[in-house]
Structure 1
Amino acid sequence: MAIVKATDQNFSNETAEGLVLADFWAPWCGPCKMIAPVLEELDSELSDKVKIVKLDVDENQETAGKYGVMSIPTLILFKNGEPVDKVIGFQPKEALADLVNKHA
């Protein structure tokens, strides 16, 4: 499954079912650029367990505000539409895989 680009308009639909890892990011953010290839790897390895969506906080401030995103990258794990876990800052692939597996 490919990583989905989410917006304020479709975020709740994209996170409504199953396990979804939402990456709150911005194009100017250095650590966000560092985590992008990690998320690509995670998507190819765990696509049967988790869907990954990316939300540009500059273009979608309503959703970022709703979930209290103050620093980026912030990754929030949703299970059936409800946030169940959250990490802030760059995370190695192993840490993100553990986060997903803990809730799978």
Structure 2
Amino acid sequence: MSETVVVDEHAEVLALRQKVDELETQLEWFRKQVFGQKSEHAKPMDVNQLSLFAQQVEQAKQPYPLPNKKLMSKPMPERKTRNQMRSLAAKSKPLRRQLILPMSNASVRQAGS
């Protein structure tokens, strides 16, 4: 009877050790998931994966083209002060002249005729 008890205890100890190993493996996996490096950071980018922003990246790498001198407009003139504007306006006012038209007697009607 003692032999069967020892064998049963030995089998139970082996089963418990196997269970402890399984639980330690699970615990290590959970620790990596919570505290370890994430898989997104560890995996290198797939070379065959297309990028959503490939065109924008290529445009950003190219140097910005300088404008063509023929297309450039004339530079803005200097801004004039209020007094300069007033003097220009005074100079540019047309002179008031009386317009004298010749009158013919035939074209004038007399009142009451």
TM-score bin (small chain): under 0.3
> Which of 1 and 2 has higher RCO (CA within 8 Å, sep 6+)?
1
* Bigger-Rg structure (1/2): 2
TM-score using structure 1 length: 0.15
Q: Which has the higher strand share?
A: 1
Q: Which has the higher helix share?
A: 2
